């Protein structure tokens, strides 16, 4: 892309025509985003000077400008190489006003607070810290970027696809004359991730060049686009049901909904779909659905793999807290590995924004009497406890309003513990639960609904809960056992450890613990006889997996009364994760994973918590809550959990898969799809399609698979798209995961997500699914 300030030499008339073209393109994209004539959008398109802040002595003025695609931000650079730097707004996680980032807090003065803002990126890309000329411009930058990002998220897959294809087309138009010659068409096809023979490219070019001018322009480009995006599979499906003068009547559409989609639909539902999605006014008036309207329906929420009824909070949220799976993070403060990686408040913000409802705080004595958080006995950097609590307070309930558990690993001296308690109470205020709800001694957990907007502290406690209820907790400080996950780190230190070490605990910190008192696990019988419902244990993954295998029913019964937290083994120095599914199978609620590690285990975790409003709480199946249940995931004796199904999956096609690298000579992908089932051991399975050579734009497989499902309420479906590689491991392209109970039957569009769980805007799979009772 040419530098904004150094345009290629053009004549005055050429430059004028070019600028008119750019303006027209920007208007088209602004209209598509629903921001036509918006002053904040125009402000970004005009661009302006911002101060880029890197260090105390590195603050440089740079020009920033939104490109005409309304999706790419250009920034001026003084580097000899890569002078023209851009990044796509798709890569932005959030834009934050003020000095909220570590860099701005450290390297700018409080007096410029309202002129500052930060662009936080998805993944590991460094935060961009910026300072505007004045407060008004800072607000315009933030508001403008927020509007575009929000509206981009609200585009339908169809709109995203059009936006993406047309912008690829514009990039291929090298001389910016709004025409495409054959060479530019070939370049465009490669950008779209599709390899075609020169003869085929020449063939479709000739077919579209109706004016025989040697270039495609105007309506010819539209014809080329229509040929390119033609969906043969949609033609077949639509043709089978469009029985009324070549279109779908309400009766035809209802037949499709009942027979193919297996929906409990009525004629009224068919009419509503036509009103919602039909693009042709005459057809809509005649209560007909054209092929364009049908394609629009297939790409919207109603045609998605995720049941729209499961997208908002739809489960009963009035059950006791321990009746739910709770999205939980381990070593939440870490951005990378747990030996030398950075600790940051940003890691907490990212986890909370992903609806994580249990975060871990590994607390140690810090300099100047201030407690810090980091991974003890390692080289990870430190972050102030106070700053972490402030960040948690601000971001805890932006994505979900349901309670957040603060899991404390306390290694501090009495004085710094008192300061921790002070920060918890002063910063979190009334949102911190410091006494049981109600006026009497509780016998079970409150519900997520009762705890909305509240914080619970998990940690050691000096007294039983009834002492706090009756105001009898008079002990100022005392010793408690120090059995926790940090013990593994201690064992690696030079100091020999006794079998049962103790730590001094301040009453002030003890009093912040109400419903989540940490206790040592000495067996299920001991817990049943000796521990109250609010006394919970943490299990290392190896111990928990062993118990899940050898004492599954006892573990399930334990979790019907109490909470269990599982954490990764300390030997996972690369912050890798264990498979959470076997622990969910035995009813463990707080199955803590390293959120910073974007691999299969986190994809499964994200999929588990995708339904129910993505609120971080999923109600466990009835057979994991009923004390009379004898469910064992390994043996599967007769019981209400045994609901045998046959799951038919047909992988039909994919659309607009991303290229893995964006270099000039990168190969086109050879995609294949893996269909994976995760659940009880008898249900675990994986099957894959063949790979398609050199086509990431519109590959078609039409492959059918069948899976036997025994316990559908615990089963997860993961669809994984990979680039086939004969010489090494396949490369990841995209994935999507969700519970089997939340899928819609029939022909469905599947969005694809990156490794880190962000939506790949233009990409998707098209599948046919059928979950039916086993014969």
> Helical H runs in 154-290?
157-172, 182-191, 198-208, 219-228, 232-241, 250-259, 267-277, 281-285
Q: Is 77 annotated as a binding residue?
A: yes
Q: Is 460 annotated as a binding residue?
A: yes
**Are the beta carbons of 333 and 343 closer than 8 angstroms?**
yes
Residue showing tokens 């998707």: 764
CA 578 to CA 678: how far, in whole Å? 13
Q: Is 171 annotated as a binding residue?
A: no
- In degrees, to the nearest 5, what angle opens at C-alpha 599 toward C-alphas 594 and 600? 110
Q: Is 54 annotated as a binding residue?
A: yes
**Are the beta carbons of 610 and 742 closer than 8 angstroms?**
yes
Strand 358-364 with 372-373, pairing: antiparallel
Q: Is 310 annotated as a binding residue?
A: no
Q: Is 702 annotated as a binding residue?
A: no
Bridge partners, residue 247, by sequence? 244
Q: Is 151 annotated as a binding residue?
A: no
CA 136 to CA 125: how far, in whole Å? 28
Q: Which of 541, 602, 536, 615 is nearest to 571 (CA)?
A: 541
Strand 564-567 with 535-540, pairing: parallel
Q: Is 56 annotated as a binding residue?
A: yes
Q: Which of 736, 735, 745 is nearest to 771 (CA)?
A: 745
Q: Is 100 annotated as a binding residue?
A: no
Half-sphere exposure of 652 (CA within 13 A, CB side): 18
Q: Is 495 annotated as a binding residue?
A: no
Q: Is 74 annotated as a binding residue?
A: yes
Q: Is 723 annotated as a binding residue?
A: yes
Who's near 234: CB < 8 A, 6+ residues apart?
291, 294, 295, 298
Q: Is 529 annotated as a binding residue?
A: no
Q: What are phi and psi of 200, to 5 degrees?
A: -70, -40
Q: Is 262 annotated as a binding residue?
A: no
Q: Is 302 annotated as a binding residue?
A: no
Q: Is 266 annotated as a binding residue?
A: no
Burial class (CB in 10 A: 0-12, 13-18, 19+), 175: exposed
Q: Is 584 annotated as a binding residue?
A: no
Q: Is 653 annotated as a binding residue?
A: no
CA 272 to CA 612: how far, in whole Å? 25
**Are the beta carbons of 29 and 71 closer than 8 angstroms?**
yes
Q: Is 670 annotated as a binding residue?
A: yes
Q: Is 68 annotated as a binding residue?
A: yes
Q: Is 749 a catalytic residue?
A: no
Q: Is 59 annotated as a binding residue?
A: yes
Q: How far is CA 593 from CA 276, 328, 333, 459, in A?
A: 41, 6, 12, 19
Q: How far is CA 328 from CA 5, 310, 357, 543, 584, in A?
A: 48, 21, 6, 18, 12
Instruction: Write b or e for each residue in 32-70: b if 16 or more Cβ atoms lie within 10 A of its Cβ, otherwise e.
Output: bbebeebebbbbbbebeebbbbeeeeeeeeeebbbbbbb
Q: Is 668 annotated as a binding residue?
A: yes
Q: Is 701 annotated as a binding residue?
A: no
Q: Is 546 annotated as a binding residue?
A: no
**Are the beta carbons of 564 and 519 closer than 8 angstroms?**
no
Element (H, E) at 390: helix 385-395
Q: Is 58 annotated as a binding residue?
A: yes
Q: Is 330 a catalytic residue?
A: yes
Q: Is 344 annotated as a binding residue?
A: no
- Give the tokens for residue 251: 């009766």
Q: Is 629 annotated as a binding residue?
A: no
Q: Is 662 annotated as a binding residue?
A: no
> Helical H runs in 453-523?
465-469, 487-491, 507-510
Q: Which of 656, 766, 771 is nearest to 702 (CA)?
A: 766
Q: Is 694 annotated as a binding residue?
A: yes
Q: Is 70 annotated as a binding residue?
A: yes
Q: Is 78 annotated as a binding residue?
A: yes
- Give the tokens for residue 739: 């519970």
Q: Is 741 annotated as a binding residue?
A: no
Q: Is 126 annotated as a binding residue?
A: no
CA 461 to CA 505: how far, in whole Å? 8
Q: Is 615 annotated as a binding residue?
A: no
Q: Which of 517, 526, 514, 518 is nearest to 554 (CA)?
A: 526
Q: Is 52 annotated as a binding residue?
A: yes
CA 772 to CA 775: how far, in whole Å? 9
The active-site residue out of 107, 163, 375, 558 is: 375
CA 357 to CA 455: how far, in whole Å? 10
Q: Is 174 annotated as a binding residue?
A: no
Q: Is 708 annotated as a binding residue?
A: no
Q: Is 69 annotated as a binding residue?
A: yes
The active-site residue out of 323, 330, 531, 749 is: 330
Q: What are phi and psi of 78, to 5 degrees?
A: -100, 10
Q: Is 484 annotated as a binding residue?
A: no
What's CA 82's distance to the chain center, in Å?
31
CA 150 to CA 133: how far, in whole Å? 25
CA 764 to CA 750: how far, in whole Å? 5
Residue showing tokens 């950008």: 191
| Known binding residues for substrate | 52-79, 458, 460, 538, 565
The set of catalytic residues is 330, 375
| Known binding residues | 52-79, 331, 360, 362, 409, 458, 460, 538, 565, 668, 670, 694, 723, 725
| Known binding residues for Ca(2+) | 331, 360, 362, 409, 668, 670, 694, 723, 725
């Amino acid at each position: 892309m040419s530098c904004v300030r150094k345009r290629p030499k053009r004549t005055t008339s050429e430059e004028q025509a070019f600028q008119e073209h750019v303006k027209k393109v920007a208007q088209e994209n602004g209209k598509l985003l629903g921001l036509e004539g918006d002053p904040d959008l125009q402000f970004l398109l005009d661009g302006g000077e911002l101060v880029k802040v890197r260090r105390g002595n590195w603050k440089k003025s740079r020009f920033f400008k939104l490109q005409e695609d309304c999706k790419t931000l250009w920034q001026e650079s003084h580097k000899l190489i890569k002078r023209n730097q851009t990044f796509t707004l798709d890569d932005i996680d959030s834009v934050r006003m003020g000095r909220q980032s570590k860099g701005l807090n450290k390297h700018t003065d409080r007096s410029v607070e309202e002129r500052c803002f930060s662009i936080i990126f998805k993944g590991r890309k460094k935060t961009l810290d910026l300072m505007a000329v004045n407060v008004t411009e800072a607000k315009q930058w933030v508001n403008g970027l927020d509007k575009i990002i929000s509206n981009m998220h609200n585009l339908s897959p169809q709109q995203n696809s059009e936006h993406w294809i047309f912008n690829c087309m514009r990039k291929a138009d090298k001389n910016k004359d709004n025409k495409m010659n054959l060479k530019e068409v070939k370049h465009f096809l490669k950008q779209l991730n599709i390899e075609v023979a020169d003869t085929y490219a020449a063939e479709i070019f000739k077919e579209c060049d109706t004016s025989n001018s040697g270039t495609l322009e105007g309506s010819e480009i539209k014809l080329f686009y229509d040929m390119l995006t033609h969906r043969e599979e949609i033609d077949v499906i639509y043709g089978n049901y469009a029985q009324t003068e070549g279109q779908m009547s309400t009766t035809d559409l209802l037949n499709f909904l009942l027979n193919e989609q297996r929906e409990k639909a009525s004629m009224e539902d068919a009419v509503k779909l036509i009103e919602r999605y039909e693009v042709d006014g005459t057809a809509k008036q005649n209560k007909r659905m054209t092929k364009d309207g049908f394609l629009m329906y297939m790409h919207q929420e109603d045609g998605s793999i995720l049941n729209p009824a499961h997208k908002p909070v739809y489960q009963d949220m009035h059950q006791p807290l321990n009746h739910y799976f709770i999205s939980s993070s381990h070593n939440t403060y870490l951005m990378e590995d747990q030996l030398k990686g950075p600790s940051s408040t940003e890691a907490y913000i990212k986890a909370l924004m992903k609806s994580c409802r249990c975060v871990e705080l590994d607390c140690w004595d810090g300099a100047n009497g201030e407690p810090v958080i980091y991974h003890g006995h390692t080289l990870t950097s430190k972050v102030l406890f106070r700053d972490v609590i402030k960040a948690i307070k601000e971001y805890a309930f932006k994505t979900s309003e349901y309670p957040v558990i603060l899991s404390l690993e306390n290694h501090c001296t009495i004085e710094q513990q008192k300061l921790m308690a002070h920060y918890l109470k002063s910063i979190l205020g009334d949102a911190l639960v410091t006494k049981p709800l109600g006026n009497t001694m509780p016998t079970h957990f409150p519900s997520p609904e009762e705890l909305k907007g509240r914080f619970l502290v998990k940690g050691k406690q000096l007294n039983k809960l009834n002492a706090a209820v009756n105001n009898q907790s008079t002990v100022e400080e005392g010793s408690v056992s120090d059995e926790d996950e940090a013990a593994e780190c201690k064992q690696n230190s030079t100091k020999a450890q006794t079998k049962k070490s103790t730590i001094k605990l301040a009453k002030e910190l003890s009093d912040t613990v109400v419903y989540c008192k940490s206790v040592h696990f000495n067996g299920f019988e001991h817990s049943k006889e000796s521990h109250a419902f609010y006394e919970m244990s943490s299990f290392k993954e190896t111990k928990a997996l062993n118990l899940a295998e050898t004492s599954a029913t006892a573990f399930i019964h334990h979790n019907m009364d109490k909470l269990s937290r599982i954490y990764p083994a300390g030997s996972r120095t690369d912050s890798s994760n264990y498979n959470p599914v076997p622990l969910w199978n035995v009813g463990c609620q707080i199955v803590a994973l390293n959120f910073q590690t974007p691999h299969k285990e986190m994809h499964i975790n994200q999929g588990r918590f995708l339904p129910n409003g993505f609120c971080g709480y999923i109600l466990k199946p009835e057979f994991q809550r009923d004390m009379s249940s004898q469910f064992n995931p390994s043996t599967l004796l007769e019981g209400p959990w045994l609901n045998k199904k046959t799951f038919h999956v047909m992988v039909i096609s994919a659309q607009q898969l991303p290229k893995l690298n964006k270099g000039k000579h990168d190969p086109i992908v050879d995609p294949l799809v893996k269909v994976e089932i995760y659940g009880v051991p008898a249900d675990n399975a994986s099957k894959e399609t063949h790979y398609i050579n050199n086509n990431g734009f519109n590959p078609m497989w039409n492959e059918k698979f069948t899976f036997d499902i025994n316990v559908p309420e615990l089963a997860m479906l993961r669809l994984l798209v990979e680039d086939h590689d004969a010489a090494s491991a396949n490369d990841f392209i995209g994935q999507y995961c969700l519970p089997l109970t939340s899928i819609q039957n029939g022909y469905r569009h599947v969005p694809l997500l990156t490794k880190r769980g962000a939506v790949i805007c233009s990409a998707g799979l098209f599948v046919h699914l059928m979950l039916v009772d086993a014969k």
